[in-house]
Amino acid sequence: MTDDVALAFGEEWGRLVAGLIGWCGDWDLAEECAAEAFAAAVVAWPRDGRPDRPMAWLTTVARNRARDRIRRRTTESARHDALARLIDQAVQPPAEVGTGGVDDPEIADDRLRLIFTCCHPALPMPARIALTLRTLCGLTSAEIARAFLVTEPTMDKRLVRARAKIRQAAIPYRVPPSELLPERLDGVLAVVYLLFNEGYAASSGESLLRVDLTTEAIRLARLVHGLLPTADEATALLALLLLTDARRAARLRDGEIVPLPDQDRALWDASRTREAELLLRGSSGHTGPYAVQSRIALCHNLSERPEDTDWATIAALYSLLPATPVTELNRAVAVAMVDGPAAGLALAAPLEGDLGAYHLFHATLADFHTRLGDPAAAAISLRAAITLAPTPAERRLLRRRLAGLSLGMTE
């Protein structure tokens, strides 16, 4: 791909596909013709120069391809006849390609409709993620398959099924009405959040940071925030992702995980923290889960040294989150920094029933035991954590801690 086309692809793929789906109602056709339009651009743009209005150019070419395909279909069903008629009626004869014949208002920004449909609760979560990456971000199914450690045919099938369900069950292509909007927006944000987490801390496998997925997640979070600027939780999610991503360069050293207190804070990306800080300005009254989490992250990112961390504020913020066992565990960590490890242990120990299979529960207990001067108990917890840790890098980190502990014991 030439630079011009590659740039347009990154910027315009999602908008082009979204607009085409809105125009013809056929997801497969929209994707195929969007791909063909970009293929045509690879030939035409280096030859004729980049058009003044790339989006208009791409839309015109894609719509022409769509019309051709519909007419060429020999086994035309009545539905396609109707579709062809509809398209002929609805669309003015295209002006010459390259002169920007398609009016901008006609190329509505349908990406918001697209993301709400991709993240519809009637679709299985893996399909929501795959569909969002394919249609909005323009990742190929091979790329998505690689990112989620499944085979390409499996990913293809997932996408085909999702599109089939949208068509068969008549999942609407729209921004949900106001009574459904808060709940559906939660669903969209959950997909973006999951995507980021998948990229940031791969749940399995050796490759710890999947940069592509975190980049795509931030791009999507920006998109949702840009399209719904007054949605506090969408703003907060973007801030949270930026704050977490700001620490990316410091999170790994020589392929090994570096825990937050040991990270080289000079490597943190201050511009991302600043951007998030601006986004969160005036949000101190917001108590949505992303708003609270982003303010916790901001506390960390604004602390120049670990000992500067405002743990009292962080502990208070954790108590604003819904009291899930994992939230309580995090709150215990913060409380231990304020009131000492015994207070932390008192909060964390009762969570055993819920979190007994969670490696970070045992790692946290190990930390409390160590600080309380009980290396034997710490070693037991660390061994449990090592057994349960999902990735090799996390197991190595825990083993290093265990080794450090034995050293301390023999001294």
Partner 1 sequence: MKFMLIHTLDESAFPNEEECGVPVELESWATEMVGRGIELDGARLHPVSSATSVRRRDGRTLVVDGPFAETKEQVAGYDLLECRDLDEAIAVAAAHPTTAVGSIEVRPLEDGAPTVDLPEPDPARQRYLLLICAAMGAAPVEDAAHADRDPGHDPGHPGHDSDQDDDEDIDRWVDDLDSRGVRLFGWPLQHPSTAVTVSRPNGRTMTVDGPFAETKEQIAGYDLLECTDLDEALAAAAAHPVASFGTVEVRPLWAS
Long-range CB contacts for residues 116-121, cutoff 8 Å, separation at least 24: 116/174, 116/175, 116/176, 116/184, 116/188, 117/166, 117/171, 117/172, 117/173, 117/174, 118/191, 119/184, 119/187, 119/188, 119/190, 119/191, 120/166, 120/171, 120/184, 120/187, 121/184, 121/187
The answer to the question of residue 289 lying near partner 1 (CB under 8 A) is no
Q: Toward partner 1, which CB reaches closer, 157 or 274? A: 157
User: 187: buried, middle or exposed (CB in 10 Å: 19+, 13-18, 0-12)?
Assistant: middle
Tokens representing 227 are 């399209």
The answer to the question of residue 407 lying near partner 1 (CB under 8 A) is no
Q: Toward partner 1, which CB reaches closer, 179 or 411? A: 179
Site residues for partner 1, window 50-69 (CB under 8 A)? none
Work out the widest C-alpha separation in the chain, in whole angstroms. Answer: 85
Q: Toward partner 1, which CB reaches closer, 151 or 406? A: 151
The answer to the question of residue 270 lying near partner 1 (CB under 8 A) is no
Question: Which range binds partner 1 by CB under 8 A, 38-46, 107-115, 120-128, 299-307?
Answer: 120-128
Question: Which range binds partner 1 by CB under 8 A, 24-32, 172-180, 194-202, 329-337?
Answer: 172-180
Residue 105's nearest CA partner among 61, 172, 53, 64 is 53
Q: According to CB under 8 A, which one of 39, 86, 87, 180 is a site residue for partner 1?
A: 180
Q: Where are the beta strands (DSSP E) in 138-276?
A: 252-253, 256-257
Question: Which range binds partner 1 by CB under 8 A, 29-37, 165-173, 294-302, 323-331?
Answer: 165-173
Q: Toward partner 1, which CB reaches closer, 43 or 122? A: 122
The answer to the question of residue 130 lying near partner 1 (CB under 8 A) is no
The answer to the question of residue 323 lying near partner 1 (CB under 8 A) is no
Question: Which range binds partner 1 by CB under 8 A, 16-24, 49-57, 121-129, 207-215?
Answer: 121-129
The answer to the question of residue 260 lying near partner 1 (CB under 8 A) is no
> CA 216, 217, 223: angle at the middle one, nearest 5?
90
The answer to the question of residue 80 lying near partner 1 (CB under 8 A) is no
The answer to the question of residue 169 lying near partner 1 (CB under 8 A) is yes
Tokens representing 371 are 């600080």
The answer to the question of residue 155 lying near partner 1 (CB under 8 A) is no
Q: CA–CA separation, 382 vs 378, rounded Å?
A: 6
The answer to the question of residue 89 lying near partner 1 (CB under 8 A) is no
Nearest-approach distance from CB 30 to partner 1, in angstroms:
18
Q: According to CB under 8 A, which one of 69, 146, 165, 248 is a site residue for partner 1?
A: 165
* Residues whose CB is less than 8 angstroms from the CB of residue 74 and which lie 6 or more positions away in sequence, other chains included: none
Q: Are 95 and 60 in contact (CB under 8 A)?
A: yes
Amino acid (1-letter code) at residue 83: L
3-state helix, strand, coil in the chain (%, to 5): 70, 0, 25
The answer to the question of residue 171 lying near partner 1 (CB under 8 A) is yes
Q: According to CB under 8 A, which one of 10, 49, 153, 172 is a site residue for partner 1?
A: 172
Q: Are 283 and 235 in contact (CB under 8 A)?
A: yes
Q: According to CB under 8 A, which one of 10, 124, 182, 255 is a site residue for partner 1?
A: 124
The residue count for binding partner 1 (CB under 8 A) is 17
Q: Which residues bind partner 1 (CB under 8 A)?
A: 120-124, 127, 161, 164-165, 168-172, 176, 180, 183
